């Protein structure tokens, strides 16, 4: 199978970079083809702006979605966005490797969503969620945090990890991906604060790499996270009156 790794850390030698290496090795070892997209290395521009659109539908008013749709249909999106879309079309599984910064992905990866998942091309109307463009493909997040696991329990000091990843999980599901449970490597400081002790960094990296390496070969057999889907909603987009979770509203 084809696996795309989207990597968003400014230091290739970081803990995150180490987790990328072990993913490439482990996936290739069981016969998968792996492509790495290192957003920092490729100097991906995360800012959605008028300058990216060379034949504007309206050059007096910049409406991002209108321009995305028109440029997709005419095949004139910027080369970097076209390349990202080609990679997604090629991949059977997409792994996002990044550190949790301010309760979300780094800006360079947030902008990958803003610019690459183009309106009209990758979603529109009812072509969303379980009817989405990438249905049949899988995606997952591999995340590192500075705080320890206990602090990410509900009401904990670092907040609930399920809540921090929910926006990205939902965005991936929005365009049709089956989203696998995340790989969270807690209590890592190598990407943020420099380790005083190099051997401690190596020791912790080996430990987390081992956990990740053990999981990687079986990813294609895992059960995705369940979401509500098109048939669960009424015309206004609310949960159907008859849905068993309706009592929660």
Question: Residues interacting with a copy of itself, by CB under 8 A?
Answer: 10-11, 13-14, 40, 46-50, 57-58, 61-66, 101-108, 110-111, 113-114, 117, 119, 129, 146-148, 150-151, 153-159, 163-164, 166-168, 170-171, 174, 190-194, 228, 232-233, 236-239, 243, 245, 248-249
Q: How far is the CB of 229 from a copy of itself (least distance, A)?
A: 10
The half-sphere exposure of 143 on its side-chain side, counting CA atoms within 13 A, is 27
The smaller minimum CB distance to a copy of itself, of residues 24 and 107, is found at: 107
The half-sphere exposure of 60 on its side-chain side, counting CA atoms within 13 A, is 0
- Rounded Cα distance between 185 and 193, Å, is 16
Among 127, 108, 142, which Cα is nearest to 20's?
142
The smaller minimum CB distance to a copy of itself, of residues 156 and 181, is found at: 156
The smaller minimum CB distance to a copy of itself, of residues 180 and 188, is found at: 188
The smaller minimum CB distance to a copy of itself, of residues 30 and 65, is found at: 65
Do 138 and 224 form a contact (C-beta atoms < 8 A)?
A: yes
Among 81, 66, 79, 78, which Cα is nearest to 119's?
66
Q: How far is the CB of 238 from a copy of itself (least distance, A)?
A: 5
Q: How far is the CB of 17 from a copy of itself (least distance, A)?
A: 11
Q: How far is the CB of 205 from a copy of itself (least distance, A)?
A: 13
Range 108-111 contact pairs with CB under 8 angstroms and sequence separation of 24 or more: 108/8, 108/39, 108/40, 108/44, 108/46, 109/6, 109/8, 109/39, 109/46, 110/46, 111/44, 111/45, 111/46, 111/47, 111/48
Q: How far is the CB of 146 from a copy of itself (least distance, A)?
A: 8
Q: How far is the CB of 21 from a copy of itself (least distance, A)?
A: 16
Q: What are phi and psi of 19, to 5 degrees?
A: -70, -30
The smaller minimum CB distance to a copy of itself, of residues 163 and 203, is found at: 163
The smaller minimum CB distance to a copy of itself, of residues 155 and 218, is found at: 155
């Amino acid at each position: 199978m084809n696996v795309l790794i989207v990597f968003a850390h400014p230091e290739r030698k970081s803990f995150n970079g180490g987790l990328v290496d072990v993913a490439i090795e482990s996936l290739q070892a069981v016969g998968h083809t792996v492509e790495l997209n290192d957003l920092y290395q490729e100097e991906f521009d995360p800012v959605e702006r008028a300058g990216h659109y060379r034949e504007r539908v309206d050059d007096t008013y910049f409406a991002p979605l209108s321009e995305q749709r028109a440029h997709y249909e005419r095949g004139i999106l910027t080369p970097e966005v076209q390349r990202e879309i080609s990679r997604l079309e090629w991949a059977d599984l997409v792994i996002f490797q990044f550190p949790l910064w301010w309760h979300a992905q780094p800006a360079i990866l947030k902008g990958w969503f803003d610019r690459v998942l183009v309106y009209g091309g990758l979603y529109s109307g009812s072509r969303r969620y379980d009817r989405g463009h990438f249905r049949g493909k899988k995606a997952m997040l591999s995340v590192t945090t500075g705080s320890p696991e206990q602090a990410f329990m509900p009401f904990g000091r670092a907040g609930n990890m399920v809540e921090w990843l929910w926006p990205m999980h939902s965005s991936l599901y929005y365009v049709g991906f089956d989203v696998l449970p995340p790989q969270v490597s807690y209590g890592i400081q190598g990407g943020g604060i420099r380790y005083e002790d190099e051997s401690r960094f190596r020791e912790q990296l080996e430990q987390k790499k081992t956990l990740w390496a053990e999981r990687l070969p079986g990813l294609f057999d895992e059960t995705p996270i369940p979401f509500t889907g098109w048939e669960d909603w009424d015309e206004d987009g609310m949960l159907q009156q008859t849905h068993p979770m309706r009592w929660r509203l």
